[in-house]
Amino acid sequence: MRTDLPTETEPVRVIEGESLGALLELPDGVFDLILNDPPYSSGGFTRADRQGDVSAKYQQGGTKRKYPTFKGDSRDQRAYRYWSALWLIQCLRVSKPGAICGVFTDWRQLPVTVDALQAGGWVYRGIVVWHKPGARPAQGRFANACEFLVWGTNGGRALAGSPFPGHFSHAVKQPDKHHLTGKPTALMQDLVRVVPPGGLVLDCFAGSGTTGVAAALEGRRAVLIEESAEYAAIARQRVAGVLV
C-alpha cells in the first residue's frame, strides 16, 4: 500500500516506522529535496563509547533536561556505510530527476558518508558546513565546532534559482532543542529554502521533527519518518503547533 503524500491542507505527514520499510511505501520520483539526519554512530573516542547509551554520548556536562533515548547509533563504520547506502538508494528512487539530497554527518563519519551517497547513486556535489557557535573549546586541540551536510543530486541539475551559501552558523538553543541531537530550526529553514514554495521534502530520520517544522514555517511540504514512538509524537506535536 502506498503512503499518501502531503497536500496543501495537510502539508506535513509524520510516519512512525523504520525508514527502509517506510521508504518502500513511497512512490517513485516525487521529492524535490531529501534532508536526512541519521544517527551518526559516532560520539566518544572508543568503540565502547560509541556503543554506549546515546544520552551518555551526546549529553555531557551539567545539562539538566532529559530527552528520550533513540536506537540505531552503534554501527561500526563499515556497517554504517553499508546501511546508509541502502536507504540512499531508496531515497534516489523516490526523488525527482535533479532533486537534491543532503545527509548530515560529523568529522568522524564524513568520509564514509561521502562514499555512501555515491554508492546510493547520487551525484556528489560537495559539503555544506554547519558552524555551531558556542561549541566547547578543549585544551590542546581544535574545537569540533562544525557538522557537515554532504550533498548530491539525482543526476544533472539545472543551475536555476538563487545561489545558496556554503556554510551556515546557528547555535543550538535550549528552548529550540527537543531531541538529544536536535538541529536548530533556523538551520533547517535555511536548508528547505533551496526548493521553491510548495516543494516536497523528505526526512527519513525525523527525530523531533525539526525538518517538518521548518518546512511548515517556509511554506514547503514534508514527509517525516521516525521509528521512535516518543519522538514521532513530539514531531507531530511540534508540527501541529506551527500549522495552527
CB closer to ligand SAM out of 14 and 92: 14
Using CA atoms, how far apart are residues 223 and 152, in angstroms rounded to an integer?
19
- Work out the angle at residue 184's Cα, subtended by the Cα atoms of residues 49 and 123, and round it to the nearest 5 degrees: 80
Per CB under 6 A, does 32 bind ligand SAM? no
Per CB under 6 A, does 18 bind ligand SAM? yes
DSSP sequence for 138-157: -TTS----EEEEEEEESS--
Taking CB under 6 A as the criterion, the residue among 32, 37, 147, 190 binding ligand SAM is 37
Other beta carbons less than 10 A from residue 38's beta carbon = 23
Site for ligand SAM in 159-188 (CB under 6 A): 179, 181-183
Longest dimension (CA), the chain: 55
> Is 106 in contact with 144 (CB distance < 8 Å)?
yes
CB closer to ligand SAM out of 57 and 221: 57
Taking CB under 6 A as the criterion, the residue among 189, 227, 236, 239 binding ligand SAM is 227
Site string for ligand SAM, 101-130 (x = CB under 6 A): ------------------------------
Phi and psi for 42 in degrees, rounded to 5? -130, -150
CB closer to ligand SAM out of 130 and 231: 231
CB closer to ligand SAM out of 92 and 206: 206
Taking CB under 6 A as the criterion, the residue among 215, 225, 236, 239 binding ligand SAM is 225
CB closer to ligand SAM out of 99 and 225: 225
Closest CA to 100 of 201, 25, 205, 9: 201
Give the cell for residue 136.
Answer: 566547547
Burial of 225 (0-12, 13-18, 19+ CB in 10 A): buried
Count of residues touching ligand SAM (by CB under 6 A): 21
Per CB under 6 A, does 43 bind ligand SAM? no
- Give the interface with ligand SAM as residue ranges (CB under 6 A): 18-19, 37-39, 70-72, 179, 181-183, 205, 207-208, 210, 225-228, 231
